Structure 1
Amino acid sequence: MKTVADIKEAISGATVCVLFGLGVFGCGSTAVNPVAGTASAGLKAGAGAAEIVFPSALFANPHAVEGFGGIIHDNPHARVMVLETNDKVAIVSLELVRTDADGIALVKDIVNRYTGTPKDRIWVHSNHTISTPHEPRDAALKRLWMGALEAALASAAQQAAASFQPATAGFGSGTSDVNVNRNVLMSDGQYHIGLDGTLPSNKTMTILRVNSRASGKPVGFILGYGIKPTAIDNAGQAAGVRQVSADVPGVACNMMEREFGAPTLFLMGASADQVPKYDAWRAVDNGNGDVTDNVDFYSQVGMDYIIQRMTALGTQMGTDAIAIAKGIATRDAAPTIAYGVTTFEWPNAEKNASTAVRVDAIRVGNAAFVGVKPEVDSVTGQQLRAAAARLGYAHVMLHSFVAGDAKYMPHAAAYTAPLTVEARKTGFAAGGAEELVARSIALLGSLGKAGKTSGL
């Protein structure tokens, strides 16, 4: 059986099959943007942010929009960053629970129109912000939802285009202890969603800082951290009083923007099993094997308390992010930028069909963003980071909900009894996460040896 460590050579434009215990799976292809062989004129970058303002008419009937009653604690944002040296890419961060195919197409159209970024170089990521409404199925409500997204994206993309300028970049990492593994072993011998789980939790926060070459002031930031925005969660759903909010990461991004005066994009890391240290929608162990899942704590503690806990965690996350950002030196004026894509097939949980899994990677100097649709867990994220370090990458972040979303794809040990919450709800057979890491490493290798010369 091949391991991640075995896959060290670049794979470009080739078909690859990796053998695993389940048989021959994972046959797919890799498409890579060629890295320029000559020096570029230097990095250019621009960024923009705008609130997604849902109209009040969307919430006329709370039960038609998942119990949202029209109370807006804080508006979610759409944010865009454009980066260009030898390749031009755009990263879009949406503080939404998810974005369907039509929404993704809309986002790419808008960003392409205003920034000139090729559509196949636009990364669309939803933060899985539970405290925002899904795209409605009702046609009238859908038009209202899409209109809010379109207006925000147009504003953010225009800002990114207007601020596009010669820039320098740098990455930095630190820790933020606001998340926890949500898998709690309860009296029935099973893992349930709870607080203070003892399974692994990745506290590493990584930030890309981009500065104006002319002024030295920030153009924008990208903040990667492993946390699902679920402190408020579904609280108040049954009562029709759910509140719209960008939750814990939203507080942190807003703090960053006030501190530095520049857009801050949050990218949800490998967070299938990672939640804030407070979650208002979780299981309760009644003892003697009696466990109640999905308890709404709104009825017990009230919304004000829930908002207080969310805000406190967001403030801590924001404080940590600001400290990390202030320590980042933006020394690289011409980092190599490359966008690569690979796909592979993996069997579903029942092993009677397979699904194409797409992996997108953006290299920025000796760092990279890796994005997938499935929800991957913190173990997988740390496995990828460790393997990428052997290729010379100083910072590699794995993000779910890129170009859409898919079911959970936990690491192999999660399938061992007692199964984690993610393994019980998975849409994939065991081994998919390990294949994803192997494919991601091969893809990063095909984007070139990162080395330690870029200054990032």
Structure 2
Amino acid sequence: MRQESPAAPEHAQPLVPPEKGLRVGAAKADITPEDLTGLHPMPGAFSGVHDPLHLRALYLGDAVTEVALVSLDLIEAGDVTPLRERVERELGIPADHVVVTATHTHNAPRIADVSPGALAHAGGPESAAYTETVYARIVAALRRARATARPARFGVGTGTADVNVNREVFQDGRWSLGHNPDGPSDKTVWVLKFEDLHGAPIAVLVNYAVHPTVVFGTSEVSGDLAGAACRHIEEVLHDAHPGSGAVALWTPGPLGDQAPRIDLGVPFGTAPDERRKARAYAAMEAQGLIVGAEALRVADGIETPTSDDILLEARQRTVLCPAKSGQDVMETMRQDRSDTVPLRLSLIRLGDVAVTGVSGEVVTEIWRRLRDRSPLARTLLVSIANDRIGYLADDARFDRPVHSVNGCPVRRGYAEDAIVDGLLEMIAASSVTRLAEGTR
């Protein structure tokens, strides 16, 4: 059963100036917990902080529409509906125009509640308190991003980085997690570049499919390779444009079956050795540098034409899918009994670019089907968008007891079609809206 999200209330009016053209703002805030007690999402505890965690917020607006996209250096964000509704109440940005994702670094806490039927790492009271702290900082960051938004232009480009590898391996008579270089793996580095009309960078959005688990098991808080990539991009942009405050946002692509190519992390549950930890962090920085440097190379070649007629639109949809129980999942995974599980879909349409979002860890084959059928060649997919209900496996994969099937909370025959058909319908509806509105 599909449920269209309700329209924004009449009082939630855009607060941008009534003028044509895109306006863009970005902000960044530290979300490193001051007290790490009870915040490790998996068995064990954090022993310290290796590198800080951040949230990065992107604001897009024109005379008609306001949109917000937030990326968090966290393992996952559950049902963020209360946050999106708070953004609507306090800032007037419609809840259906707010997309929140997590980089999925496994060396960071989680936030928000677990949806009914979802398979996710449950948090305790410490996680609930941390969630409220992060929510407040997200709202404050979006407020700053909108207050500093300025006339802007944008462009999109793609590159490649061989940092990911399929992780579903059949060995010793069973399926397990490892490195499968022959398995499907999308190496595309998507880059959206936003700059002001004078050419100063505002934000770079990166989309790539990999689990940031290079330093998993070190017991130290870290943004892992996603955080390293963003640091590199921001440092280079700040050196080239002092005072610009440019922000790099990492969004996870179809990472449900993707591991980092070089993973020197400490085996989970073992005492970390300092020399091994040092090698793991070196591998983290190296792979983050590869993706970050490729994103900068792509960004340098992107043309950003100015246009007063860029379609800016956002919409969301929730599809209730028949739920199934997880099998052979970690003991910290929680799944409340429910006949259905909410699959949340989102779309941010920016000209001929479709930034689609799905509330789980999407596997490569679902993404390829969406890519091949989309009417927009520039269609990218963001996993863990506005919720993390579990892995989302394609139907054919259910013939194998792989990790992404065991951890999928949706019965076979539902998730793949719901994702692909639902997002295609949303893209088509955005095109109809543009035709109905005419040239702005």
Q: Tell me, yes or no, whether TM beats 0.5.
A: yes
1:254 is aligned to 2:231? yes
Identity between Structure 1 and Structure 2 (%):
25
Deviation at 1:32, TM superposition (A): 9.3
Partner Cα separation in structure 2 for residue 230 and residue 124 of structure 1 = 21
Q: Is the 8 A contact 1:47 1:220 kept in 2?
A: yes
Q: Is the 8 A contact 1:345 1:356 kept in 2?
A: yes
Q: Is the 8 A contact 2:193 2:204 kept in 1?
A: yes
Deviation at 1:302, TM superposition (A): 2.3
Query: CA deviation digits over 1:85-120, x for unaligned, max 9?
Result: 23210001111112244x66346635863x542233
Partner Cα separation in structure 2 for residue 93 and residue 258 of structure 1 = 18
1:46 is aligned to 2:30? no
Q: Flag the 1:192–1:311 CA change in 2: closer, same or farther, 3 A.
A: same
Q: Which of these residues, 339, 344, 353, is aligned with residue 314 of structure 2?
A: 339
Q: Is the 8 A contact 2:109 2:127 kept in 1?
A: no
Q: Flag the 1:437–1:306 CA change in 2: closer, same or farther, 3 A.
A: same
Map 1:74-89 onto structure 2 (within 5 A): 74-85=51-62, 86-89=64-67
Q: Flag the 1:297–1:306 CA change in 2: closer, same or farther, 3 A.
A: farther
1:128 is aligned to 2:104? yes
Query: CA deviation digits over 1:57-105, x for unaligned, max 9?
Result: 334x78898534442111111011111123210001111112244x663
Q: Is the 8 A contact 2:26 2:247 kept in 1?
A: yes
Q: Is the 8 A contact 2:214 2:284 kept in 1?
A: yes
Q: Is the 8 A contact 1:256 1:318 kept in 2?
A: yes
RMSD: 3.0
Q: Is the 8 A contact 2:87 2:95 kept in 1?
A: no
Alignment match, 2:11:
none
Alignment match, 2:407:
425
Map 1:319-334 onto structure 2 (within 5 A): 319-334=293-308
Q: Is the 8 A contact 1:212 1:219 kept in 2?
A: yes
Alignment match, 2:291:
317
Q: Secondary structure at the match of 1:267?
A: strand
Deviation at 1:406, TM superposition (A): 0.5
Alignment match, 2:176:
192
Q: Is the 8 A contact 1:344 1:356 kept in 2?
A: yes
Partner Cα separation in structure 1 for residue 55 and residue 373 of structure 2 = 32
Map 1:7-406 onto structure 2 (within 5 A): 27-30=1-4, 41-55=20-34, 57-59=35-37, 66-85=43-62, 86-101=64-79, 105-106=82-83, 109=86, 113=90, 116-135=92-111, 137-139=123-125, 142-143=128-129, 145-146=130-131, 148-150=133-135, 152-154=137-139, 156-188=141-173, 190-213=174-197, 215-233=198-216, 235-236=217-218, 242-261=219-238, 262-280=246-264, 298=272, 302-334=276-308, 335-349=310-324, 353-388=339-374, 391=375, 393-406=376-389
Q: Secondary structure at the match of 1:45?
A: strand
Q: Flag the 1:342–1:53 CA change in 2: closer, same or farther, 3 A.
A: closer
Q: Secondary structure at the match of 1:202?
A: coil
Q: Is the 8 A contact 1:49 1:78 kept in 2?
A: yes
Q: Flag the 1:300–1:250 CA change in 2: closer, same or farther, 3 A.
A: closer
Gaps of 5+ in 1: 1-26, 237-241, 284-293, 452-456
- The code of the aligned residue for 1:49 comes to K
Q: Flag the 1:346–1:105 CA change in 2: closer, same or farther, 3 A.
A: closer
Deviation at 1:269, TM superposition (A): 0.8
